[in-house]
Structure 1
C-alpha cells in the first residue's frame, strides 16, 4: 500500500467517524491486542481487508503510533504464520504518518476451498470469525459447516432417503423427465433401459445399508409429496399489511399466509401464483397508450423463487428451515438457507460466465423437468438467472435487487419502487446529455434518491462487468454529472454539486455545461497536453479528455504527435477553432 492510499483511507475513516467493512484499526501502542486474531480471521473469511495498528478510534482516529514498529510487525507476522489456520500471509508495512509510526497489514481473502480461517488456540468453532459491517462476529457451528462444505462439491442431494421407492414419484413428472432425458442427452441415456437410466440419473441410488432408494434430489424434483419425509423443505409466503398509522391494518397480522408444498416444479408454479394473487397492477403510459403491468416483473419473480429452491442448503442441519417469501408494501423478500456457494460472490453474482451449483444432481434433474402448465423447464443451469432478474427490473424502470449473503442464508430483496418514474425521467432529460446508457440513467436516478455508488453496487445495479462499470462511471465523471471520492478500491461516486443544487431546487434546470470555450481560451496559440489543460482550467482529466475528443471530431482542435491515449499527447487549436466563440454560452 502506498502512503497516499493510506492517507486517503484514514481521511475517509475520520469523515465517517467509524470503521468500515474492509478496514479495522487498533490502538496497539506496545503489544498486539487479542482482538487482532478475530480481525485476521474475519477478513480472511470475508473479502479481505486492511488492519491498521497505531490509530485510536475513540479519539477520532488520532495517530497515536506504535512504540516499537519492528517488534510489533514481527509479532503480527508470527501470529499469522503460527497461530492462524490456515497460515495467513498479509502484506505488512510500516508507514510514517503525522509524526508517528503506523503498521498496516493488507489481509487477503482466502479461497473458499481453504475456509474457515481460525485461531488455533480457540479451535475451529470458537476461533472462526466473519466481517459484518464494521465489526467481527464469531461464526456459528452451522456457518462453519457451510464453509467446510464449500471446500468440495456437496453431495447431500445425492443421499438416499431410506424407505422410499418409485411409487412415491409423480408418474406424469417422472415420465416427462425420462422422455426429455432421452432426447436432450442421447449419448448418455438414449440406449439405456428404464432402470439403468434412473440409476445413471441418480434418481435411484444405493444407500449405506446396501438397499436401493430414491435420492433426495429425485424426491424433491419428482416426488408426489416430498414433505411427507421432510416437512420443512417447503415455501412459506406471508403478505404483511402497511404498518404506518393504519388502525385497521394494525389489527391484521397478515393479509395472506400460505404454506406451499409439493415437488419443486409445483412449488415454483404455486409460489408465483400466490405472489400474483397478492400483487396489484400499476399503469405505465407509453407511446402505445396505457398499459397495466404487475408490480414486479414475472421474470424477476421466477428467477428469485427458482434460485432459492434449487440452490438452498440441503445438509441435515438446515432441513428444518423453509424458504421464506415475505411481501411488504415497499418490497418483496425471498430468503433461503445457505449462502452463496463456490467462487460466486455478491461482487460477481451478475457477471457473465460465473456459475456455481451447490446441488449439482438436483440441478441436472430440474433441467429436464418443466413447470406444470408450461413448456419451460424449472432451470437452465447457465448462470444467467441473476442477470435476467436485473435486466427485467431495469426494463421495468424499477430499482435493482439487493443481495445479502450471510453464509447461513441468502436473501434477495426486490424494492417495489419505480426508479425511473415520470418525474425522474424528465429530470434526466433536462440534463441535456446525449448518449447516456440505460444503466447510467438508473445510476443517476439512484444518486438523485440520495444513494452513493461504488463499482460493486453499480455492477449490481446495471448488470454489467467491472470493466464496463468503470468505463460508464468514468464517463459520468467526465460529463461532470457525478464526482469521484477516493481512488482505487475506495472510490465512491455521488452527484456533482451542480446537480445536487438542482435536485434541492437551489438552482433551476439549465442546459449542460459547455467546456469548449474554456478549453479553447486555455489553448490560445499554444500546444498543450491534457495535464496542462487540466491545470489551467481546473477541470478533471476525465472531463478534459471527453471534451477534447468531441472537439477533435468537430474539427476545432487537432492532435499533435502521440496517440490520444498517451499522457504526452498534445493539442492545438485549428483554424476552425480560432473562429469558435470563446465565451461560455451560459
Structure 2
C-alpha cells in the first residue's frame, strides 16, 4: 500500500521512531486521521529500523497510554523491506499530548491554543459558543424582553402560552441549563449582558471623514435592545423623503431600512463573541460601513452571499430565537435579501468583505460614485463627466470635448452610451441646446462594457 505514496496532509515518513512523533499522531487524530510510516526516508525509500519487532509490540500501548486512542500498528513491505505503518482514525473528541492540543494543517503540525482551542473543542463536541452555560442565573433575566419575545413569536411558536413560566420558555429554547443561562440566554434576555460578556456591545458613529467624527453612540443591553438602539442611531444620521404612489404617501430613506435592519441583526447574531471588540457601524455622507468581529463560518465564502447558499450559523441558538421572533427569515437568505432591497431602490449592490479579522458590509447611497461607475464598465472619460455633472448639474457635447480633450465624434459616442445605459438623460434632441443630466437612480440600468 505504501508504494507510490508521498508525504502530504495525511501521510508522514519517519526514518526511525521517536516519542516526539506522538505529537504528529495527536494532530492526525484531531484532524481527518492519517498514516505514519516508520522506516521510510523523505523520498519514500525503506531504511533499516532497529528492534522492529519490539517496536511493533510497544507502540500500540504507548499510543493508547499517551494519547488515549487506539491506533492500528502493523508491518508493511516496501520493495521487499519491512516497515511499520501506524494508522490513526479521526477522533470524535479532542486529543491532547502532554496537556497540549495539536492539529494537522497541510503537512505541518500546529499547536492549538487560545480562542482557536475553544473553537476546536466546541466543534469536536458539536457545540456552539452560545450554548455554553454562563455564570448568570435566572434572576438576571429581563422579564419585559421575554414578554416582547412571546408576542413576536406567537406566529412561529403558537404553542407558547401566556401561562408558560419564563423558566419553561427558556428551557424549551435551550437557553437555561441546570439553573444557569447559556451565553445565548444572557445575550438575548439578560438585564445586563455586558456584565458577563464584556464585548457584547456595538457602536455607531457619524463620520465626515475617517478622522472627523461628529457623533458616537454606544449601544448596550440585550440583543433585542441593541437592534432597536442601533437602528435609532443610524436613522438619526440618514435622510428620508416622501414619494406619492397613487393616493398614498411613502417614506423613502437614503437606504432601505429593512436592508439596514437585516445587516444589524446579522452582525449581532453571527459575530464571533470569542473575539474582542464591538460591532462597529460608521455612517459617512455617501455610505454606511458595518463591521463585526469574526470572519465567515467555515464552508461559506463571500461570493456565495449574493446568491442562494446554505445556512451555517455560528451561533445556532441566537439565530433560532431571532427566527422564532420573526426578525430573520429563512436561514441563509438574509444577505441575498439585502442585495435585492438595495437594487429595488436603485442603489448599488452592497459590498461584502472579510477584512481586519472580521466581516463587513458596505451600503452605498449614491449610484454615481467613481468606484461603482467603474464596476459598470464606464471608461475614465465618462466617469470624469459624471463627476462633473454631479457638481454642476449638466454637461453639453462641447463641454465634454473640452473636459476630456476628445473629438466631437468620441464625445457623441461616449454621451450616447451614457444615455443608453441610463446614467444620463438627454435634454433636447440636436444642436447646441442639447444637454445631459443625471438620471434618477431608479431609471439607471445595468451598464454594459463601453465598446
TM interval, short-chain normalised: 0.5 to 0.7
CA distance in 1, matches of 2:244, 2:282: 29
- Tell me by how many angstroms 1:395 deviates: 1.0
Residue by residue over 1:91-134, the C-alpha shift from the partner in whole angstroms, topping out at 9 and shown as x without a partner, is xxxxxxxxxxxxxxxxxxxxxx9x98624545256xxxxxxxxx
Q: 1:117/1:401 Cα in 2 relative to 1: closer, same or farther (>3 Å)?
A: farther
Residue by residue over 1:217-266, the C-alpha shift from the partner in whole angstroms, topping out at 9 and shown as x without a partner, is 112111222123223211111221136xxxxxx7xx31111100111111
Aligned to 1:273: 232
CA distance in 2, matches of 1:178, 1:397: 37
Q: 1:356/1:407 Cα in 2 relative to 1: closer, same or farther (>3 Å)?
A: farther
Aligned to 1:219: 186
- Tell me by how many angstroms 1:79 deviates: 4.4
Cα RMSD between the aligned structures?
Answer: 4.5
Q: 1:227/1:502 Cα in 2 relative to 1: closer, same or farther (>3 Å)?
A: farther
Matched, 1:239 2:195: no
Q: Report which structure shows greater RCO (CA 8 Å, sep ≥6).
A: 2
CA distance in 1, matches of 2:116, 2:287: 27
Aligned to 1:165: 137
Aligned to 1:335: 291
Q: 2:273 aligns with which of 314, 336, 340?
A: 314
Contact persistence 1:339–1:407 (CA under 8 A): no
- Tell me by how many angstroms 1:386 deviates: 0.9
Q: Which has the larger radius of gyration?
A: 2
- Tell me by how many angstroms 1:313 deviates: 1.4
Residue by residue over 1:273-295, the C-alpha shift from the partner in whole angstroms, topping out at 9 and shown as x without a partner, is 11110113468899999987322
- Give the aligned length: 306
CA distance in 2, matches of 1:151, 1:505: 65
What is the TM-score with the length of structure 1 in the denominator?
0.44
Q: 1:170/1:412 Cα in 2 relative to 1: closer, same or farther (>3 Å)?
A: same
Gaps of 5+ in 2: 13-26, 35-91, 93-101, 381-407, 421-451
Q: 1:350/1:167 Cα in 2 relative to 1: closer, same or farther (>3 Å)?
A: same
Q: Secondary structure at the match of 2:305?
A: coil
Matched, 1:177 2:164: no
Gaps of 5+ in 1: 1-73, 90-112, 126-139, 207-211, 244-249, 370-376, 422-441, 451-500, 513-586
Q: 1:215/1:351 Cα in 2 relative to 1: closer, same or farther (>3 Å)?
A: same
Contact persistence 1:156–1:359 (CA under 8 A): yes
Contact persistence 1:281–1:292 (CA under 8 A): yes
Aligned to 1:399: 348
Q: 1:289/1:340 Cα in 2 relative to 1: closer, same or farther (>3 Å)?
A: same
Q: 1:406/1:357 Cα in 2 relative to 1: closer, same or farther (>3 Å)?
A: same
Matched, 1:123 2:110: yes
Q: Secondary structure at the match of 1:255?
A: strand
CA distance in 2, matches of 1:344, 1:296: 26
Q: Secondary structure at the match of 1:509?
A: helix
- Tell me by how many angstroms 1:335 deviates: 0.9
Q: 1:182/1:122 Cα in 2 relative to 1: closer, same or farther (>3 Å)?
A: same
Q: 1:200/1:404 Cα in 2 relative to 1: closer, same or farther (>3 Å)?
A: same
CA distance in 1, matches of 2:190, 2:377: 48
CA distance in 2, matches of 1:308, 1:241: 23
Q: 1:298/1:447 Cα in 2 relative to 1: closer, same or farther (>3 Å)?
A: same
Aligned to 1:156: 129
Contact persistence 1:346–1:405 (CA under 8 A): yes
Residue by residue over 1:358-414, the C-alpha shift from the partner in whole angstroms, topping out at 9 and shown as x without a partner, is 111122223344xxxxxxx43334322112110111011111111113594111111
CA distance in 1, matches of 2:109, 2:288: 40
Q: Secondary structure at the match of 1:258?
A: strand
Q: 2:303 aligns with which of 321, 344, 347?
A: 347
Q: 1:230 aligns with which of 197, 212, 215?
A: 197
Contact persistence 1:116–1:147 (CA under 8 A): no
Matched, 1:255 2:214: yes
CA distance in 2, matches of 1:176, 1:119: 49
CA distance in 2, matches of 1:229, 1:443: 47
